[in-house]
Amino acid sequence: MVVQVSQPTYEQKTQAIARELISATREKRSLFAQMRDQMRWDDRLLAFAMDNPGLRVQLFRFIDCLPALHSKAEVARHLQEYLGDPSVELPEALKGLLNFANADSVPGQLAATTFSKAVETLAHKYIAGETIAQVIKTLDRQRQGKLTFTVDLLGEAVITEAEAQAYLNSYLELMQQLTEAAKKWSPVEAIDSAEGEPLTKVQVTVKLTAFYSQFDPLDAVGSQKKVSDRIRTLLRRAQELGAAVHFDMEQYVYKTLTLATLKGVLLEDEFRSRSDIGVTLQAYLRDSYSDLQDLVTWAKERSTPLSVRLVKGAYWDQETIKAVQHDWPQPVYSQKESTDANFERMTRLLLENHAHLYAAIGSHNVRSQAYAMAIAETLNIPKRAIELQVLYGMADKLAKAMSDRGYRVRVYCPYGELIPGMAYLIRRLLENTANSSFCGKSRGAPGRRTAHGS
Amino acid sequence: MALKQVRMQLGQTYSPLVNGEFVSTETQADSVNPSNPAEIIGKVGLLSQEQADQAIAAAKTAFPQWQATPAAERAAILRRAGDLMAERRSELATWVMLEVGKALKQADAEVSEAIDFCHYYADEIERLDRGYDYDLAGETNHYRYFPRGIAVVISPWNFPIAIATGMTVAALVTGNCTLLKPAENSAVIAAKIGEILIEAGIPKGVFQYVPARGSTVGAHLVKHPDVHLIAFTGSREVGCQIYAEAAQVQPTQKHLKRVIAEMGGKNAIIVDESADLDQATQRVVTSAFGYSGQKCSACSRVIVLAPIYETFVRRLVEATRSLNIGPAEDPSTGVGPVIDAKARDRILQYIETGKAQSQIALEMPVPATGYFVSPTIFIEVAATDTIAQEEIFGPVLAVIKAENFDQALEIANGTDYGLTGGLYSRTPSHIERSQREFAVGNLYINRNITGAIVARQPFGGFKMSGVGSKAGGPDYLLQFLEPRVITENIQRQGFAPIEGME
Ligand SMILES: Cc1cc2nc3c(=O)[nH]c(=O)nc-3n(C[C@H](O)[C@H](O)[C@H](O)COP(=O)(O)OP(=O)(O)OC[C@H]3O[C@@H](n4cnc5c(N)ncnc54)[C@H](O)[C@@H]3O)c2cc1C
C-alpha cells in the first residue's frame, strides 16, 4: 500500500515537531561556555577542539595513537610533539600542562596521566562498556529510562581467519549473556511490545565483512559463500536464544555484496519468515534511493518484513578521498544538503511502505527525526513498523524527548576495548565537534541538533 | 568473458618484428602459464645475432626521419597507443594474468600504469620540446633537446606491460629508434605492445620487437657500436654486467653509451611502537606477498620495535596464514605462483638458508601443479643474515627486531640497496627523521610500499638498486635526450633590433 500525501502536510508538521524537540533539548549554551574553566578535562578537550580547528586535528591525531603508547614517558613525549606543533595555538590551560622539559619529569608524568584519564573518560561517553558485564549494567540503566538497545562489539580489523571465527564466537557469547540477563528484566511497555505483540528484548548489531578475513568484492562468489556460512550459524543461534540481529553498513565497496549476501540468505527457507533481522542503508550514497526501491520490491516478494535502518553514512571523508585518489566517480553526495534531502526522500519511501519494511531512523539531527515522526503521525503508522535510533552518548536528550513523545527509541551501544574502538571513537569525536553539527540548518527549518550529552 | 576469448588464442606463434616485417626464426621458445605450465601461452620466435644486426641497421636507416618528426606528432602516436590499450584493457590484463601468473586486479592496475606512461610521456615531451631561450640584444641562445639515436630496451617479466611500455615509449617519444627485447617469460605480452604501437602509427624500423636470448643476442645488442642507450630493468647481476659492457668503447663506436638500469632492492618496512597495527599488519602482508613478492618494490624485511614485536609477529603470521594460495585466475587467490621453475628452486634454496640461520614462523602447503612457493616468514632474523641481505624476489619475509628507532633506521639502511622503504608510525619526530635518514628512492609513510602511480610517485632507487632517474617522473625523459645549445649572433654590421627600443 502506498499512501499519497502531499509534501506540505509533512513540512508543517515536521517544523512543529522539530520546534518541540528543540525546546525539550535545548542546552544552556551561555552557561556551558561560562563553566568552561571549571569543567573536567574531558569536556575541556572537546570545547578546545570546537574552538580551534588546528588544535582539533592535532588533538584527535594524538588521541588516535594514545592507546598504542606503552609508557607515561612516551605519552608525554607524543603529547608535546602533537600539541607543540607550530600550527596549533594552545589555550593557556593546555600550555601550562605541556610546559615540561623532560618527558620523564614529574610534570611530564602528570601531563601524561591527566590526558590519559581525560581520554578514557571521553571514550566512556561513547563506549557503553569494556566487557559484557559492564555493558549489561548500561543497558539496565537505559531500559529504566525506557530506551531499548542494540549492542555492537567494537573490533579491530578482521585480517586473519582466527579473528573472523573469534568475531562470530564473541557474538554467540554476547547473545547468550544478553538473553540470559534479559530474563531478569521487568517488562517496559514502551519498548517491549507494540500493538500488544511482544518484541524481542535483545538486539545485536554485526559487521558482515568481519565474518571472513579475505572478504573481497572482486571474489564475490567465494566471499559470499564463506560469509553466508557464518551468518547462518549466527541467525540460527539468535533464534534459539530469542535475539534479533541487525547488520551495519560499511564502506561503499562492500555495499553491493553485503546486500546481495543478505538477500540471498534471507530468502532461504530456513530464514525466510524471520522478521527480527535488519539491514542498513546510507542516504549519503547516490544510489541508495534505488537500493531502497529494490529492497521494497524484494521484501514484497519475500512477504515477511525486514527492518531497514536508515542512516546518513559514517565514512563520508574516506569515500570522498578514495574516489579522488582513484579518479572514480564520487559514490557520495558532495553537499550535506543533498544527503539530508535524500534522507528525507528515503524516509518517506520507507515509511510509506511500512507494510513491507520496518523503519529504523538513525540520526541525531532533530530535523531528520522530526520529518520521520511527522510522516508516522500523519499516516498513523503502527508502532511495530517504526523506531528511532541514536548512538550511545551522542544525543541523550533527543532520545529522551523522542521517547517522551511515545516512540520506541533504540540506543546503539558499542562495547569493547579502546584500541579496537579507536576508529569508532574518532568518528564520534569528529561528529560531535563538527561546527556544522551545532548550526546545521536544513532549508530554513529548525535543524539545530542537541549538544553533546554531558 | 575476456578470459574465454584469450584462452581461444593461446599457443599462437609470435615472430620478431624487424624493419616492419615479421621474420621467421631458427629457434622458438614456449611461454607458459606459471599457474599451470602445461598451458602454452604462446610460441615466441627468437632473433639470431645476424637478424639483430639487421634490426640495428634498419633502426639506423629510420633514425633521420624519426628524429625530424615533430615532437607533437610523436606524442600523438603515444596518446593513440594509450587509447588503444584502454580499449583492450580487460583483454590485456587477462594476457598478463595468464602469462606471468598475476592476479587480475593487479594485472588490471598494471595496464592502467602502461596507459598512464603513454599519456604522461606524451605530455612531458611537449613540455621539454619547448626548451629554454636566453635571448639578449644582438644574440639568441636556444637550449634544445635532441634524441640520442638507437635505444635498446631490455624489459622484465614482473611488470610485463607497464615497465616494457614505459621504457619503450619513453625512448620512442624522445625521437630514438627503439628495439624492445622482453624477458622470454613475458614475450607474448610484449608482442601485444608491438601490435598496439604499430596500430597507433609508429613507422617501420622505428620500433622493433626483438625477442632473443638475453645471454647471447641480448648481450650482442648491448655491445653493438651503433647503440646509444640501454634502458634495463631486471636483476642486479645482469644490470651490473650491462653497465660494464656498455662502458667498453667498441671499434667504430664514436660515443659513450648511456645506461639506465633499475635493479631491485631489499626493501624494509619499519613498524614503530606508535604504529596502527591493524593497518601495519595488513599492508606489510600486501607489500610482502602481493604477486608472490616478485615486485622490485616488494617488502622483504620488516623491522619491528621491541615493545610491539610479539603482538605484531603473532598477527602477521596469522594474517598471512589466512591468504589463499592458488592459480592466478581464481578470484579468491591471495598468493599465486612464481614465474618459473628456476625462480622457484632459487627461492626454495633461500628458504633452506633461512632455516639454517633463523627461525621459521610460517610455511604452508602449496598446490602441486604450477610453480608455487609458500608465503614464508622468518622471525628472530639477524640484520646480517643472508635472507636479510640478498634480494630473493619471492614470497619470503624476514622479521627483524629493533631495540629503538635509531637502530631500526640503521638496520633499514644496512643493505646494498636503496629502492623502496616504509614506515608505520604515529610519532611526528620519527616521521620527520625518516624523511631525511631513510635512504631509499621511494619512501612510503603509513601505507603499503608497492603500487607507485605514474607522475604521483615517480619510481626508482639508488645504491645497488639502479642508475638513472625516476620512471614516471619529470627527469626521466631527459636521460633519453642530448641537450644542445645554439647561440646565434644576430647583429649585421653592428645592427640588430633591440627589444623595448624602437
Ligand atoms: C543508530 C545508528 C546506527 C548507525 N549505523 C551506521 C551504519 O551501519 N553505517 C554507517 O555508515 N553509519 C551508521 N551510523 C552513523 C551515521 O551514518 C552518521 O554518521 C551519524 O548518525 C551522523 O548523522 P546525523 O544524521 O546524526 O547528523 P547530521 O549532522 O545531520 O549529518 C551528518 C552526516 O551528513 C553527511 N554529510 C556530512 N557532510 C557531507 C557533505 N559535504 N556531503 C554530503 N553528505 C555529508 C554524512 O553522512 C554525515 O555523517 C549510525 C547512526 C546511528 C544513530
User: What pLDDT is attached to residue A452?
Assistant: 31
Query: How far is CA B300 from each of CA A310, B319, B445, rounded to the nearest angstrom?
Result: 45, 16, 17
B494 pLDDT tier (thresholds 50, 70, 90): confident
**Closest-CA residue of chain B to A326:** B453
Segment A191-194 long-range contacts (CB within 8 Å, at least 24 positions apart) = A191/A143, A191/A146, A191/A147, A191/A148, A191/A408, A191/A409, A191/A410, A192/A148, A194/A382, A194/A383, A194/A384, A194/A408
pLDDT tens digits, one per residue of B403-459 = 999 999 999 999 999 999 999 999 999 999 999 999 999 999 999 999 999 999 999
Domain boundary assignment for chain A:
31-124, 128-450
Average pLDDT score over residue span B40-48: 98
Q: Among the listed ranges A160-174, A409-423, B99-113, B334-348, which one has the minimum average pLDDT value?
A: A409-423
> Half-sphere exposure of A110 toward its Cβ, with a 13 Å CA cutoff?
10
SS3 at position B336 = coil
Amino acid at A124: H
Which residues make Cβ contacts (< 8 Å) with residue B33, sequence separation at least 6?
B39, B40, B41, B98, B99, B101
Other beta carbons within 10 Å of A282: 28
CA distance B106 to B84: 20
SS3 content of chain B, % helix, strand, coil (to 5): 40, 25, 35
Question: Is B427 close to A163, i.e. CB distance below 8 A?
Answer: no
Instruction: Please state whether beta strands B376-379 and B396-402 pair in parallel, antiparallel, or not at all (unpaired).
Output: parallel
pLDDT tens digits, one per residue of A144-163 = 999 999 999 998 889 999 99
Which one, of B465, B467, B469, lies nearest residue B440 by Cα?
A: B465
The answer, yes or no, to whether any atom of ligand 1 lies below 6 A from the CB of A311, is yes
Other beta carbons within 10 Å of B72: 11
Mutation for testing the A interface, residue in B286, B318, B377, B454 having most A CBs under 10 Å = B318
Measured between beta carbons, the chain A residues lying within 8 angstroms of B377 are none
Which one, of A389, A370, A390, A387, lies nearest residue A431 by Cα?
A: A390
Cite the DSSP H helix spans in B251-332: 277-289, 309-321
Measured between beta carbons, the chain B residues lying within 8 angstroms of A83 are none
Which atom of ligand 1 is nearest the CA belonging to A427? 19
Other beta carbons within 10 Å of A146: 17
A53 pLDDT tier (thresholds 50, 70, 90): confident
User: What pLDDT is attached to residue A31?
Assistant: 53
The answer, yes or no, to whether any atom of ligand 1 lies below 6 A from the CB of A12, is no
Q: Where are the beta strands (DSSP E) in A124-222?
A: 148-153, 193-194, 197-198, 202-206
pLDDT tens digits, one per residue of B363-418 = 999 999 999 999 999 999 999 999 999 999 999 999 999 999 999 999 999 999 99
3-state DSSP of B391-454: CCCCCEEEEEEECCHHHHHHHHHCCCEECEEEEECCCHHHHHHHHHHCCCCEEEECCCCCCCCC
Ligand 1 center to B253 CA (angstroms): 70
Residues of B with CB under 8 A from a CB of A: 104-105, 273-279, 281-282, 285, 307-308, 315, 318-319, 321-324, 331-332, 334, 426-429
Measured between beta carbons, the chain A residues lying within 8 angstroms of B105 are 218
Average pLDDT score over residue span A337-351: 98
The closest CB to that of A214, out of B279, B281, B324, belongs to B324
Which one, of B440, B444, B360, B349, lies nearest residue B398 by Cα?
A: B360
What is the DSSP code string of A349-374? HHHHTTTTEEEEEE---HHHHHHHHH
Ligand 1 center to A440 CA (angstroms): 13
By the 8 A CB rule, do B212 and B218 touch?
yes
Compute and round to an integer the Cα radius of gyration of chain B. 24
By the 8 A CB rule, do A310 and A351 touch?
no
Cell of A435: 561546527
CA distance A295 to B147: 62
A451 pLDDT tier (thresholds 50, 70, 90): very low
pLDDT tens digits, one per residue of B302-359 = 999 999 999 999 999 999 999 999 999 999 999 999 999 999 999 999 999 999 999 9
* Architecture of the CATH domain B267-445: 3-Layer(aba) Sandwich (3.40)
By the 8 A CB rule, do A147 and A191 touch?
yes
* Whether residue A33 has pLDDT greater than 60: no
DSSP state of B172: H
The answer, yes or no, to whether any atom of ligand 1 lies below 6 A from the CB of A347, is no
B34 pLDDT tier (thresholds 50, 70, 90): very high
CA distance B298 to B289: 8
pLDDT tens digits, one per residue of A289-301 = 999 999 999 999 9
A454 pLDDT tier (thresholds 50, 70, 90): very low
By the 8 A CB rule, do A171 and A153 touch?
yes
Which atom of ligand 1 is nearest the CA belonging to A205? 8
CA distance B263 to B158: 12
CA A41 vs. chain centroid, Å, equals 25
pTM, to two decimals = 0.94
* Whether residue A249 has pLDDT greater than 80: yes
Q: Would you call A82 an interface residue with chain B, using a CB distance cutoff of 8 Å?
A: yes
Residue nearest (by alpha carbon) to ligand 1 atom 44:
A336
Residue nearest (by alpha carbon) to ligand 1 atom 39:
A336
Average pLDDT score over residue span B449-471: 95
SS3 at position B253 = coil
Which one, of B2, B5, B370, B14, lies nearest residue B187 by Cα?
A: B14
> Half-sphere exposure of B291 toward its Cβ, with a 13 Å CA cutoff?
28
Which atom of ligand 1 is nearest the CA belonging to A343? 25
**β-bridge partners, A245:** A204, A277
The domain defined by A128-450 carries CATH number 3.30.750.24: no
The answer, yes or no, to whether any atom of ligand 1 lies below 6 A from the CB of A339, is yes
User: What pLDDT is attached to residue A92?
Assistant: 86
**β-bridge partners, B463:** B417
Which residues make Cβ contacts (< 8 Å) with residue A113, sequence separation at least 6?
A72
Cell of B138: 644582438
CA distance B313 to B302: 10
* Whether residue B118 has pLDDT greater than 80: yes
Helix (H) or strand (E) holding A83: helix A72-83
Which one, of B191, B242, B239, B194, lies nearest residue B220 by Cα?
A: B242
Cell of A72: 607515561
User: What pLDDT is attached to residue B162?
Assistant: 98
CA distance A86 to A78: 15
DSSP state of B69: S
Average pLDDT score over residue span B241-256: 97
Helix (H) or strand (E) holding A242: none
User: What pLDDT is attached to residue B255?
Assistant: 97
The answer, yes or no, to whether any atom of ligand 1 lies below 6 A from the CB of A450, is no
The catalytic residue positions of B are 262, 296
Average pLDDT score over residue span A164-175: 98
**Closest-CA residue of chain A to B315:** A160
- Terminal C-alpha separation, chain A: 43
DSSP state of B214: I
A439 pLDDT tier (thresholds 50, 70, 90): very low
Q: Which CATH number fits domain B2-263+465-486: 3.40.605.10, 3.40.50.970, 3.40.50.300, 1.20.1440.20?
A: 3.40.605.10
Interior/surface letters B109-130, b for 16+ CB within 10 angstroms, e for the rest: ebbbbbbbbbbbbbebbeebbe
A25 pLDDT tier (thresholds 50, 70, 90): confident
Average pLDDT score over residue span B7-33: 97
Which residues make Cβ contacts (< 8 Å) with residue B177, sequence separation at least 6?
B59, B60, B62, B63, B66, B149, B150, B151, B205, B206, B207, B208
The closest CB to that of B318, out of A61, A81, A160, belongs to A160
Domain boundary assignment for chain B:
2-263+465-486, 267-445
**Closest-CA residue of chain A to B277:** A68
Helix (H) or strand (E) holding B299: strand B299-305
Helix (H) or strand (E) holding B105: helix B104-129
By the 8 A CB rule, do A418 and A120 touch?
yes
By the 8 A CB rule, do B300 and B331 touch?
no
Average pLDDT score over residue span B134-160: 97
Query: How far is CA A131 from each of CA A170, A177, B148, rounded to the nearest angstrom?
Result: 11, 11, 71
User: What pLDDT is attached to residue B502?
Assistant: 58
The answer, yes or no, to whether any atom of ligand 1 lies below 6 A from the CB of A288, is no
User: What pLDDT is attached to residue A96?
Assistant: 87
The answer, yes or no, to whether any atom of ligand 1 lies below 6 A from the CB of A248, is yes
The Cα of B392 is separated from the nearest Cα of chain A by a number of Å equal to 26
User: What pLDDT is attached to residue A440?
Assistant: 33
Instruction: Please state whether beta strands B139-147 and B132-133 pair in parallel, antiparallel, or not at all (unpaired).
Output: antiparallel
Ligand 1 center to A311 CA (angstroms): 6
CA distance B145 to A292: 60
Interior/surface letters A376-395, b for 16+ CB within 10 angstroms, e for the rest: beebebebbbbbbbbbbbbb
User: What pLDDT is attached to residue A47?
Assistant: 85
**β-bridge partners, A198:** A193
* Whether residue A381 has pLDDT greater than 70: yes
Measured between beta carbons, the chain A residues lying within 8 angstroms of B324 are 214
By the 8 A CB rule, do B79 and B14 touch?
no
Other beta carbons within 10 Å of A52: 16
The answer, yes or no, to whether any atom of ligand 1 lies below 6 A from the CB of A412, is yes
By the 8 A CB rule, do B16 and B22 touch?
yes
What does pLDDT average to over chain B? Answer: 97
**β-bridge partners, A202:** A243
User: What pLDDT is attached to residue B307?
Assistant: 96
Which atom of ligand 1 is nearest the CA belonging to A283? 47
* Whether residue A5 has pLDDT greater than 70: no
**Closest-CA residue of chain B to A212:** B322
Q: What is the ipTM of this complex?
A: 0.90
